[in-house]
Structure 1
Amino acid sequence: MSQPVTDPTFYRSAAEAAAAPPERLAYVAAFDRSAERPDAMAVVDVDPDAETYGRVVGWTDMPGTGDELHHFGWNACSSALAHAGHDTNGLARRFLLVPGLRSSNIHVLDTVPDPRAPRVVRTVTAKDLSEAAGYSRPHTMHCGPDGVFLTCIGGPQGNDDGPGGIALLDHTTFEVVRAWETDRGPQELAYDAWWHLNRNVLISSEWGHPSMIEDGVVPELLLGNEYGHAIHVWDLAEGRHLQRLDLGAQHQMALEVRPSHDPEATWGFVGVVISTEDLSGSIWRWFLDGDEWRVEKVITVPAEPADPDLLPPALKPFSAVPPLITDIDLSVDDRFLCVSCWGTGELKQYDVGDPAHPREVGSVRLGGIVGRVPHPAAPDLPLAGGPQMVEVSRDGRRVYFTNSLYGAWDDQFYPDGVGAWMAKADVGPDGGMTLDQRFFPRGDEFRGLRVHQVRLQGGDASSDSYCYR
């Protein structure tokens, strides 16, 4: 009997991933803020030689309403090559696992046989997640050792503000196996998690309990420094807490974690939304120093002065626009870091060849609370929202981004609405970004839904862990 063929999109190294054929499709989560219509998965053509380039070419409605699709990911990726037996058991990058941050349901979409028409083949219910793992409000997932790691913001049904954490799902059956943690130590708030496979270390971050996020930012809690402001170091194999690294209480909302793609490296970045001292945003580097993990601030993005009359009520007293760093993405070659400044409407790019000393090398602006900068493809259309979820292609030459953060937060910072748009920037060999004037799906293309995370066909900069150099 012949052995199953290893999925060709499981790349042994970051260099192999970058050299593979480029993506031709992008999957984009879209949600209905009113919760009256089903959320959907939009499929966008990203092949520059296609007649339908930059247009929505596929659409899959979710069953039911009120999910608020947010982050999602593949059932399997390149990390499978380091897991015993996984490279010969037929495991493939085939299914998208798509959670609803509000509903706590997880929809499983099959991208075979037609990747432009993914089909919902199963829904893992909120009850399944709560009973098997003791969690709710699923947020971010990464395919990894032992299964799919699903970070969850909330506790079990009936105790939503209980400690958040990580649920483990089976790669192939999608059953919720258990809670991943065996000893959570002081960790209570949750957001994102990723790892250094070769070091047997997982890094997690903090946002807030569901009651702290679902109706927007709670000003009293923010000014009281009650949101997450630490990252946690764990034993990956045992699910055991090792260290808590506090960034300082004023550094509120430590969100995306982006470890180096080099399997031998021991550093990564985490983005912080806002400082309650001066409204700045920041990027922090964690690193291994001897036997101890440490963290240091390496980038500060200041707030921008603004006319209070142009600001939403929450910001009027400050006469300034905070950058609101809501996403970051590290290129597969570990050279460039993209930073989304959703408040000011700027996407920044840093050269992080020396990760302790990032150097800004590129910037594009679209939207923004005050600027409302239009896209060159529609110069008469002021844009709301700003660069938010950002995804970098495996070869690092293309950056895709969308404009919605989270329904209640959209409404708080952009009370006139954010609409829906997606853009793409081309990256030069030494950095620098230029907006692609041909690529600007927006508005009716997304059928009145808002758009959030992007996943690229064959993998992207925030989906895979590589096992070999």
Structure 2
Amino acid sequence: MTTTEHAHDRNDQSDPTLYRTPADAVSAPPEKLAYVVGFDPTAQRADALFTVGADPESPEYGRVISHAELPGLGNELHHFGWNACSSALAHAGHQYATRRYLIVPGLRSSRLHVLDTTPDPAHPRLVKVIEPEELAAKAGYSRPHTIHCGPDGVFMSCLGGADGADGPGGVALLDHETFDVLRAWESDRGPQRLAYDVWWHLRQNIAVTSEWGTPSMVEDGLVPELLLGRKYGHSLHFWELDSGRHLQRVDLGDENQMVLELRPAHDPEATWGFTGTVVSVEDLSASVWLWNREGEDFVVRKVVTIPAEPAPAQDLPPALQPFGAVPPLITDIDLSVDDQWLYVSAWGTGDLLQYDVSDPFHPRQTASVRLGGVVGGQPHPARPDTPLTGGAQMVELSRDGQRVYLTNSLYAAWDAQIYPAGIDPWMVKLDADTVNGGLGVDSRFFPNTPDFLGLRVHQTRLQGGDASSDSYCYRR
């Protein structure tokens, strides 16, 4: 694909799915399609991007409409994102950006795939592949993880150094239109070495990054010696967004292992956000933390603790039998666009928890739903006699906050440790009460193993944007 194919028609108006304010995003028409990545944990078959019907009035609702196979084997598609989002409205030269292309990294292969959702959004087509050698040569990174459209380019967090080296991980910048790798974003990384997610407070020129581990720490599964030795990530890092200069490191305590997803407030004037930690090595609990700015510095405090659940050893996988309990394992969180509701997935127990965070310093649990889980395999209402494998994992939320989408796989090597009997892919949708709180499983929406051709599914993106796609430029 050439640069010309990417160039936007400067006579066109801005994409209507680039929203000036969070309120505009909430009030826009709902999504009619969901995009989901699927991967083969054995690396014997091609990974794919699936398109799922999300319009309840359509006969294709809850069904896989199409899939686009991607070249090569062993990509392990994981997270992905749009080439453009609402933040483009604040950047000179990008006022005619279009939310058109999906950038889909292979977390294990370090290969990047660009798919075009135009002219037929239900049938995205592969238009460009960027090989790992370009990412290594131009940015010094590998193992691309999270994609966000932002200032200066598309930001892509990476777990590894060049060619899979053990670090430091960091953020690569891609060109907004050609998707060529430009450079590493960091100009002064300070003490930062481990990487996972990247997000920002756009108006305040502040970026935030979190920590998981280097390729050797994660690619063959959770390493018990590293976990008990408290060697996985346990800090947040705050940066100057435009320069890539490190400003502050905040340690959450080395007992709190693996600081993953970042969910900053959508209010462009706010300087707070949530993150989650996967497990405490002291008691197997998991926790949610709030960061906020006090003066020039950021302060981070624990606001939610979810305890482990005791269970008979014979009901547990070998990795958990010595503990006699199921750790909740917070592996994803999502914050509604109106900043009122926080969703927390506990992959070990299978719980999706809903919190009222209208006071972000004091979250209040309002609902929970269990799907799958290490013990019990709580079934879906559509198949009440069939236990679900895996557990509530990747969570995505519609812009109006009324629909929650879940998938059940974390990462192939880690799946094998926590769910050694295997994970059959599924995707569910829940309806959320955005007034009083509450969750209900939609029995009509349940694509699963045959729909996804047996590939395990991970992240979901929604047509027109979703709760974790965009940062907004204006309050009103």
The question of a shared fold, defined as TM-score above 0.5 by the shorter chain, is answered with yes
* CA–CA separation in structure 1 for the residues paired with 2:56 and 2:436: 22
What's the counterpart of residue 5 of structure 2?
none
Task: Find out whether 1:282 has 2:290 as its counterpart.
Answer: no
* CA–CA separation in structure 2 for the residues paired with 1:402 and 1:445: 13
Runs of 4+ in 1 over 2 A off after TM superposition: 1-4
Task: Find out whether 1:427 has 2:432 as its counterpart.
Answer: yes
Residue 446 of structure 1 aligns to a residue in which SS?
coil
- Residue 402 of structure 1, aligned match among 407, 411, 423: 407
* CA–CA separation in structure 2 for the residues paired with 1:201 and 1:371: 43
Task: Find out whether 1:371 has 2:376 as its counterpart.
Answer: yes
Residue 412 of structure 1 aligns to a residue in which SS?
helix
Task: Find out whether 1:32 has 2:40 as its counterpart.
Answer: yes
Cα deviation digits, residues 251-304 of structure 1 (max 9, x gap): 000000000000000100011000000000000000001121110000000000
Amino acid of the structure 2 residue aligned with 1:69: L
Task: Report deviation, 1:2.
Answer: 7.3
Cα deviation digits, residues 63-99 of structure 1 (max 9, x gap): 1111000000000010000111311xx3200000000
* CA–CA separation in structure 2 for the residues paired with 1:407 and 1:419: 12
* CA–CA separation in structure 2 for the residues paired with 1:409 and 1:137: 16
What's the counterpart of residue 363 of structure 2?
358
**What is the root-mean-square deviation in Å for CA atoms of aligned residues?**
0.9
Task: Find out whether 1:22 has 2:27 as its counterpart.
Answer: no
Residue 425 of structure 2 aligns to a residue in which SS?
coil
Residue 469 of structure 2 aligns to a residue in which SS?
coil
Amino acid of the structure 1 residue aligned with 2:105: P
Cα deviation digits, residues 147-185 of structure 1 (max 9, x gap): 10000000001x510200000001100000000000000
Q: Please give the residue correspondences for 1:212-223 in structure 2 after superposition, counting only pairs within 5 Å.
A: 212-223=217-228
What's the counterpart of residue 270 of structure 2?
265
What's the counterpart of residue 97 of structure 2?
91
* CA–CA separation in structure 2 for the residues paired with 1:2 and 1:137: 35
Amino acid of the structure 1 residue aligned with 2:247: L
What's the counterpart of residue 462 of structure 1?
468
Residue 91 of structure 1 aligns to a residue in which SS?
coil
What's the counterpart of residue 422 of structure 2?
417
Q: Equivalent pairs: percent with the same residue? A: 65
What's the counterpart of residue 6 of structure 2?
none
Amino acid of the structure 1 residue aligned with 2:358: G
Cα deviation digits, residues 103-143 of structure 1 (max 9, x gap): 00000000001111111100011001000000000000110
* CA–CA separation in structure 1 for the residues paired with 2:240 and 2:178: 26
Task: Report deviation, 1:430.
Answer: 2.2
* CA–CA separation in structure 1 for the residues paired with 2:248 and 2:363: 25
Q: Please give the residue correspondences for 1:292-441 in structure 2 after superposition, counting only pairs within 5 Å.
A: 292-428=297-433, 429-441=435-447
Task: Report deviation, 1:362.
Answer: 1.1
* CA–CA separation in structure 2 for the residues paired with 1:431 and 1:270: 21
Amino acid of the structure 1 residue aligned with 2:113: H
What's the counterpart of residue 118 of structure 1?
124
Q: Check whether the contact 1:345–1:371 (CA below 8 A) recurs between aligned residues.
A: no
In structure 2, relative to structure 1, the CA distance for the partners of 1:214 and 1:259 (3 Å cut) is same
What's the counterpart of residue 236 of structure 1?
241
Q: Check whether the contact 1:30–1:40 (CA below 8 A) recurs between aligned residues.
A: yes
What's the counterpart of residue 9 of structure 1?
17
What's the counterpart of residue 141 of structure 2?
135
What's the counterpart of residue 77 of structure 2?
69
What's the counterpart of residue 86 of structure 2?
78
* CA–CA separation in structure 1 for the residues paired with 2:296 and 2:264: 18
Cα deviation digits, residues 380-423 of structure 1 (max 9, x gap): 11011111000000000000010000001111100000110000
Amino acid of the structure 1 residue aligned with 2:116: D
Gaps of 5+ in 2: 1-8
What's the counterpart of residue 296 of structure 2?
291
* CA–CA separation in structure 1 for the residues paired with 2:147 and 2:246: 19
Cα deviation digits, residues 333-382 of structure 1 (max 9, x gap): 00000000000010001000000000000111100001200001001110
What's the counterpart of residue 175 of structure 2?
170
Aligned residues: 466
What's the counterpart of residue 449 of structure 2?
443
* CA–CA separation in structure 2 for the residues paired with 1:362 and 1:49: 27
* CA–CA separation in structure 1 for the residues paired with 2:93 and 2:120: 28
Q: Check whether the contact 1:286–1:293 (CA below 8 A) recurs between aligned residues.
A: yes
Residue 228 of structure 1 aligns to a residue in which SS?
coil
Task: Report deviation, 1:459.
Answer: 0.1
In structure 2, relative to structure 1, the CA distance for the partners of 1:2 and 1:305 (3 Å cut) is closer
* CA–CA separation in structure 1 for the residues paired with 2:134 and 2:125: 21
Task: Report deviation, 1:4.
Answer: 2.4
* CA–CA separation in structure 2 for the residues paired with 1:387 and 1:143: 27
* CA–CA separation in structure 2 for the residues paired with 1:162 and 1:431: 42
* CA–CA separation in structure 1 for the residues paired with 2:398 and 2:428: 13
* CA–CA separation in structure 1 for the residues paired with 2:275 and 2:113: 28
Amino acid of the structure 2 residue aligned with 1:247: L
Residue 165 of structure 2 aligns to a residue in which SS?
coil
Residue 450 of structure 2 aligns to a residue in which SS?
helix
Amino acid of the structure 2 residue aligned with 1:185: G
* CA–CA separation in structure 2 for the residues paired with 1:219 and 1:85: 49
Task: Find out whether 1:160 has 2:165 as its counterpart.
Answer: yes
